[in-house]
């Protein structure tokens, strides 16, 4: 795990690079015939669902990763947690989850410590 090389970096090195190369090829050829890289994929469809939920205030539920800030009582407030939330025109709404089982909380705490230690020893 490398906190300096995120999922965004992976997308830029992979799909973004292929899309830009294909766009360049299409411009040079003057046609998009025979183009295979630029197409709707799962991410493209997903972003439309997200946009509709905001634009039409649909309150659709999504799995999101947020700073804990009390969502899960027995995990550190600055931990990142993956929870269900409703997405509306007025923002993201997360219901407080209360506490998780002690084993789950301990696992989350250990994971956070591993990440902290990883960052600490990189210097």
Backbone angles phi and psi of 7, in degrees to 5: -60, -35
Structural domain includes residue 15 = no
H-helix or E-strand containing 80?
strand 80-88
The annotation places the binding site for substrate at 7
CA atoms of 1 and 115, how far apart (whole Å): 9
Share of the chain above pLDDT 70, in %: 75
Structural domain includes residue 34 = no
What pLDDT, in 10s, does the model give residues 62-115?
888 889 998 988 888 988 888 889 999 999 999 777 887 766 555 555 554 444
Structural domain includes residue 117 = yes
Structural domain includes residue 35 = no
The annotation places the binding site at 7
Residue-level length of the chain: 123
Confidence (pLDDT) at 28:
93
| pTM confidence score | 0.51
Structural domain includes residue 70 = yes
Determine the structural domain holding residue 113 and report its residue range: 57-123
Q: How many CB atoms lie within 10 A of CB 72?
A: 20
Q: Number of folded domains in the chain?
A: 1
Whether 60 and 86 have beta carbons less than 8 Å apart is answered as yes
């Amino acid at each position: 795990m490398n906190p300096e090389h995120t999922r965004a970096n992976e997308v830029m090195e992979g799909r973004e690079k292929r899309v830009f190369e294909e766009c360049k090829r299409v411009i040079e050829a003057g046609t998009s015939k025979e183009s295979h890289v630029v197409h709707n994929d799962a991410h493209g469809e997903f972003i439309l669902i997200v946009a509709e939920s905001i634009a039409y205030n649909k309150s659709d539920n999504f799995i999101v990763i947020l700073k804990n800030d009390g969502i899960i009582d027995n995990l550190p407030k600055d931990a990142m947690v993956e929870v269900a939330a409703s997405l509306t025109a007025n923002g993201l709404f997360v219901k407080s989850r209360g506490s998780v089982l002690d084993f789950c909380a301990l696992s989350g705490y250990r994971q956070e410590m591993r990440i902290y230690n990883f960052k600490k020893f990189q210097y």
